[in-house]
Structure 1
């Protein structure tokens, strides 16, 4: 451990402003020596080794936490399969809150840690010694899965040799080729199993943008990419100012948001032409989400609006969604106080306005770290109805089905000292406080009922 501390301190000193700052200012007058550059690279290499060591210790801890959680259920008389299922869910919840990562990401970390620690000690050792990175280690372990048991040690050794000298993508590519020679199950059968996991994910980004990704069978993914590329290239003309990347993105958006069945590359008169620009192609959107629009923005102002699950969007986009997408629920707020003036009409049952108010206030599930949109959550009484709890804003919160189940079964406990402020007590007894994500003025305004 002492050696590890020395590496950290030495690297921090070498990379500090006291060294880098003056050096940067003197470059024009004092040429950098090979020793300066070499020492910086040595520190970078040592830092990568230290990071790998930390990742190895984290993997061991995560595996142990999971085993301890499962053991707490087996000790209560649960059968091992049931104990493991519950233990995995609660481990992800505990780890997610400690590391401040989404529960799904925490579960993935725990799953990878257990795989490494329980089945691939040689890979964990290589990681601990800093010979490979965590991403390399996970790739080695995952590629070994499914290989005949007696072949695994030799296959793992081959992959570790490759991992020490190459990047993760190249390691994966070579591993897949080697794996096909050893895997006892036909590729078609494995593909059919993995295809059951297909999904689409959306991730918000800055400045009004977001990432949309899909996990699909390879032929479908590459087929889609080929169609987007081919269509985009047909739109490249001397008068076209969009790049090929922008054209691909616009074709992708047009194909998924247009309600018409016509070819998006053909104009109304039947001639080939440019697709609608991305800003003009929203008329096909059919999503049930909230768009919170300040009154003055609706009238032409530039104050940002709020798109449920994402955050601030520009006024022009908000006006377009509020005016032309009937499935969007428009929420109007006072331009100064933020008090909700109208929540429109939705499908939620009585007291309808109160449920809408809670969803707008909470934005997401109120379990610590959960990002599931409140629109898809259940409105739960913090103090249960059968225990005397009231149906009012300061006793209601959005909880997704998973975390509602945690509460109902007594695995997690929640209290609400003031409206919107939730204190959650975990299975391990840790306490986490979460605040609503809505604007303070909005959160303090009385419910619209």
Structure 2
């Protein structure tokens, strides 16, 4: 693309692309904010619905951009805040003079500014923010806080207490491995550290693993509720007797081809929640695991509303995640949805799939001829039609990984009727307060906390002045 370009041309192209990128992001967020305004005027009664206008718009954003519900929700939140509270900063963003990093931090640092003051602050920031593009994150934060304090001292953000930032994550890493770690209270971390040290020390001196490897394996044994770590020296006379009595039954689910389990293939398996699992890890787990075949469902629909255990197992492995466009919520937390609502639709693999609770409610309560609709093929493909008429198709994740699960099941006859109850909205789970009321309550709590902190700092300053002040001699 730039084979004949000189350094100056390359710098110009890079600068132009960066400005275009910012303008495109601003335009995208403007469209999201406008969609939110339109839907808010249409879904007037949805304010106290559990799946409210915010979730309804996030569903449309998720499907249109093929992104997760979490990322879509972040866009909706950012778009609404930017174009409702900081429209002049948004205009600077649209010109390409600032980037999304600056916009995100500006929104965060001005979130608790009073609504009666935010317009003045918006104008002041829009005149100056371009000059701050070269600032680091910390310098930009300080400059934003300085201007918030000029207009609304109670709106300066209060840093969270250290203990409120504790977390512990377990996330997939390279195939067959995962990352586990986080921030704990000092007491909990000390207890965990000592427990891992003690368990790592329960093997004999001939165990081939390093100390760090034994600590990592001890974390797995601890997760299974085992009392000691099994030694891997391989000796018949090993002095380390691993009692390994489980305090609780822990079950993990692995999907694999029969040929992989038997050693006739090296195709990988799948560990639920963690992704692809190498063949050797599959076979190692299979040596002590309970093996249960995934059975293809029969051609005849089941008679009840709830799928049988056999059908539920098949649907679980075929889908693996929520089937809504862009959503990757694990199937363990999803509902089984009848593509044609029960009792007009039947309980069968060709007419049921998984939706997470939010997208299940979206389809149920924002559906109908002018709302969300879907259709399903016998191979598990789901076609989703948005309220705008846009069409999105999703493939079952498990069927994509294991083609055997994509084999078509029985075709279903068209339903005779799909008339829905007229009072359907009465069945929607409800909130005690709207999302906006929750936001305002949270902001008011933080503003009160800032006022109290400032008052305490002033009290301490006055006390210090009183202690150090010496009257002049006469």
- The structural deviation recorded for 1:247 is 7.8
Answering whether residue 316 of structure 2 is matched by residue 359 of structure 1, we say yes
Q: 1:433 aligns with which of 393, 399, 406?
A: 393
Output the TM-score relative to the length of structure 1: 0.66
Q: 1:292 aligns with which of 255, 276, 289?
A: 255
> Can you list the C-alpha shifts for 1:265-321, whole angstroms capped at 9, x where unaligned?
xx9xxxxxxxxxxxxxxx999764531122333234532112224432112222333
Answering whether residue 269 of structure 2 is matched by residue 315 of structure 1, we say no
Name the CA distance, whole Å, in 1 between partners of 2:14 and 2:363.
46
Answering whether residue 125 of structure 2 is matched by residue 157 of structure 1, we say yes
> Can you list the C-alpha shifts for 1:45-70, whole angstroms capped at 9, x where unaligned?
22111111111111211100111111
Q: 1:359-438, aligned counterparts within 5 Å?
A: 359-387=316-344, 389-409=345-365, 410=367, 411-437=371-397, 438=399
Residue of structure 1 in register with 2:414 after alignment: none
Residue of structure 1 in register with 2:15 after alignment: 45
Consecutive unaligned residues of structure 1, counting only runs of 5 or more, are 1-15, 21-35, 236-240, 268-282, 341-348
- The structural deviation recorded for 1:385 is 3.0
- The structural deviation recorded for 1:427 is 2.6
Name the CA distance, whole Å, in 1 between partners of 2:134 and 2:41.
40
Q: 2:63 aligns with which of 75, 79, 97?
A: 97
Name the CA distance, whole Å, in 1 between partners of 2:90 and 2:354.
40
Distance of aligned partners of 1:385 and 1:39 in 2 relative to their CA distance in 1, 3 Å threshold: closer
- The structural deviation recorded for 1:119 is 0.6
Residue of structure 2 in register with 1:30 after alignment: none
Name the CA distance, whole Å, in 2 between partners of 1:222 and 1:130.
48
CA contact (8 A) 2:334 2:355 kept: yes
Name the CA distance, whole Å, in 1 between partners of 2:261 and 2:274.
19
Q: 1:275-290, aligned counterparts within 5 Å?
A: 288-290=251-253
Distance of aligned partners of 1:400 and 1:151 in 2 relative to their CA distance in 1, 3 Å threshold: closer
Bigger radius of gyration among the two:
2
Name the CA distance, whole Å, in 1 between partners of 2:24 and 2:110.
23
Output the TM-score relative to the length of structure 2: 0.63
Q: CA RMSD in A?
A: 4.8
Q: 2:136 aligns with which of 163, 167, 189?
A: 167
CA contact (8 A) 1:304 1:313 kept: yes
Distance of aligned partners of 1:162 and 1:146 in 2 relative to their CA distance in 1, 3 Å threshold: farther
Name the CA distance, whole Å, in 1 between partners of 2:316 and 2:258.
20
Distance of aligned partners of 1:60 and 1:285 in 2 relative to their CA distance in 1, 3 Å threshold: farther
CA contact (8 A) 1:414 1:422 kept: yes
CA contact (8 A) 1:127 1:137 kept: yes
Give the total of aligned pairs: 370
* Secondary structure, counterpart of 1:424 in structure 2: strand
Name the CA distance, whole Å, in 2 between partners of 1:261 and 1:147.
53
Name the CA distance, whole Å, in 2 between partners of 1:209 and 1:173.
40
CA contact (8 A) 1:56 1:128 kept: yes
Distance of aligned partners of 1:148 and 1:222 in 2 relative to their CA distance in 1, 3 Å threshold: farther
Residue of structure 1 in register with 2:428 after alignment: none
